[in-house]
Amino acid sequence: MLHIVNNLRDSFTPGTPHQAALAQIFPQDSEKQTMDKRDLSAIFRERLKLLLTRSDLNQSAFASAVGIDRSALSQLMSGASTRLPRAETLLNIAAEFKVSLDWLLGLSQDEGVTGEIRESLEIEEAPDGFDRTLLAKWFAEAAGTKIRYVPAGIPDLLRTRALVDYEANITNRSRLAQASETQYRIEYNRRPETDMEVCMPRHTLEIFARGLGVWDRFPEADRRQQLAHMATLLDDLYPTFRLFLYDGRMRYSIPLTIFGPYRAAIYVGDMYVVLNATQPVQALTQHFDNLIRAADVNPHEAAAFARNLAGMSFPSGSV
């Protein structure tokens, strides 16, 4: 799907149907739109240079392949103007080098032309452990950017081996794959360039501490050990790993991971729905930031919160 933004309006030839349609949709340029145009032009220029490098063509041959002359190509790559090429040229570039217009214009991180929403395979079934899965690949690609994570339960990297084994039994998932995932995430968060924020309902930890829900058969001693282990890791990994807790009665989120500006993976059980287009990734990022604003336990308090739960005694069946 092609997204058209106001910055493309003056890239189309005046008087054409493209220009007429766009003129009805978009208002006149403002200072903000001019700044946006510069950003768009810079992204386009970098991606054009990338395609030229990949093509192994010289500038003359590359220009000929997309229907322009060498001087026009040089001007596009110089950054001397914020104007984008004509729509016909954009289409020629996308078609010749088999990339999407969205990617070429910086509106998507997905180069492919077959769409922007796709489902992943069942990555938990990967035979060689977590480090060979798509999820590990996405973490590696997003290194140096902020990772935003809403877990389905206890955050993976904060789990003890006892909890990994228990949850593997009740979900029929591979213990080895889950243990590998936990270790990978811990090592990832120890890297100096890592920046990860995690948001989850406060009540998830309170329910866990009481041994309710899916944890009703997880022994009390193991639950206490899990919470103490969690507190230790939260102290150890802070501030590169920051846990926010919000009131689950006031806010709701599906489990998801946002990999910098590149993609978002929504967890749906045995699969991930992956969003690669810029706009939905930004929308989910805003959703995540709203969870942070609603948090009543902040990262510098999270370890103490878990540690206090580990030391509390609860009446049987309390909520």
Last residue of a domain, one of 52, 81, 104: 104
User: Within this chain, do residues 180 and 81 fall inside the same structural domain, yes or no?
Assistant: no
User: Within this chain, do residues 21 and 66 fall inside the same structural domain, yes or no?
Assistant: yes
- So what's the pLDDT on residue 37? 59
Torsion of CA 43, 49, 52, 53, to 10 degrees: -120
State the pLDDT confidence band at 140, using cuts at 50, 70 and 90. Answer: confident
Asked whether residue 14 is domain-assigned, the answer is yes
Asked whether residue 317 is domain-assigned, the answer is no
> What is the helix (H) or strand (E) element at residue 88, kind and residue range?
helix 87-96
SS3 225: helix
- So what's the pLDDT on residue 56? 82
The strand ranges marked E within the chain are: 117-119, 146-150, 195-201, 241-246, 256-259, 263-267, 272-275, 295-297
Number of domains in the chain: 2
- Structural domain boundaries, residue 51: 6-104
d(CA 58, CA 54): 11
Asked whether residue 111 is domain-assigned, the answer is no
| 35-39, 106-110, 147-151, 179-183: range with lowest mean pLDDT | 35-39
Q: What is the mean pLDDT of the chain?
A: 79
**Half-sphere exposure for 225 (CA within 13 Å, toward CB):** 11
State the pLDDT confidence band at 255, using cuts at 50, 70 and 90. Answer: very high
Q: What is the residue-wise DSSP string for 102-113?
A: HHHTTSBS---S
128: CATH: 3.30.870.10
d(CA 103, CA 20): 24
34: CATH: 1.10.260.40
Query: Is the model more confident about 6 or about 262?
Result: 262
Last residue of a domain, one of 78, 104, 130: 104
User: Within this chain, do residues 75 and 148 fall inside the same structural domain, yes or no?
Assistant: no
What mean pLDDT do residues 135-141 have?
80
What are the structure tokens assigned to 92, written together?
Answer: 């020629």
| 144-148, 165-169, 182-186: range with lowest mean pLDDT | 182-186
User: Within this chain, do residues 56 and 174 fall inside the same structural domain, yes or no?
Assistant: no
Please name which of 3, 49, 44, 276 lies closest in space to residue 141, comparing C-alpha atoms: 276
Query: Is the model more confident about 264 or about 2?
Result: 264
Residue listed under structure tokens 């349609």: 21
Q: Answer whether the bond into residue 239 is a cis peptide, omega within 30°.
A: yes
State the pLDDT confidence band at 228, using cuts at 50, 70 and 90. Answer: very high
Asked whether residue 318 is domain-assigned, the answer is no
User: Within this chain, do residues 133 and 154 fall inside the same structural domain, yes or no?
Assistant: yes
Last residue of a domain, one of 47, 82, 104: 104
User: Within this chain, do residues 94 and 200 fall inside the same structural domain, yes or no?
Assistant: no
User: Within this chain, do residues 81 and 123 fall inside the same structural domain, yes or no?
Assistant: no
Asked whether residue 235 is domain-assigned, the answer is yes
User: Within this chain, do residues 283 and 164 fall inside the same structural domain, yes or no?
Assistant: yes
What is the tens place of the pLDDT at every residue in 261-318?
888 988 887 777 888 777 888 899 999 999 999 999 999 999 999 999 999 987 755 5
User: Within this chain, do residues 183 and 246 fall inside the same structural domain, yes or no?
Assistant: yes
Please name which of 189, 190, 206, 208 lies closest in space to residue 198, comparing C-alpha atoms: 189
User: Within this chain, do residues 44 and 76 fall inside the same structural domain, yes or no?
Assistant: yes
User: Within this chain, do residues 124 and 225 fall inside the same structural domain, yes or no?
Assistant: yes
Query: Is the model more confident about 182 or about 9?
Result: 182
**In this structure, how many other beta carbons lie within 10 angstroms of the beta carbon of residue 62?**
21
What mean pLDDT do residues 244-257 have?
95
d(CA 303, CA 67): 61
State the pLDDT confidence band at 174, using cuts at 50, 70 and 90. Answer: low
pLDDT at 81 over 50: yes
**Highest mean pLDDT of the ranges 108-112, 188-192, 278-282:** 278-282
Contact yes or no for 84/44 (Cβ under 8 A) = yes
Contact yes or no for 233/106 (Cβ under 8 A) = no
User: Within this chain, do residues 99 and 143 fall inside the same structural domain, yes or no?
Assistant: no
**Residues whose CB is less than 8 angstroms from the CB of residue 116 and which lie 6 or more positions away in sequence, other chains included:** 1, 102, 108, 110, 275, 276, 277, 280
Contact yes or no for 159/110 (Cβ under 8 A) = no
Asked whether residue 319 is domain-assigned, the answer is no
What mean pLDDT do residues 33-58 have?
79
pTM of structure: 0.61
- So what's the pLDDT on residue 250? 92
pLDDT at 119 over 70: no
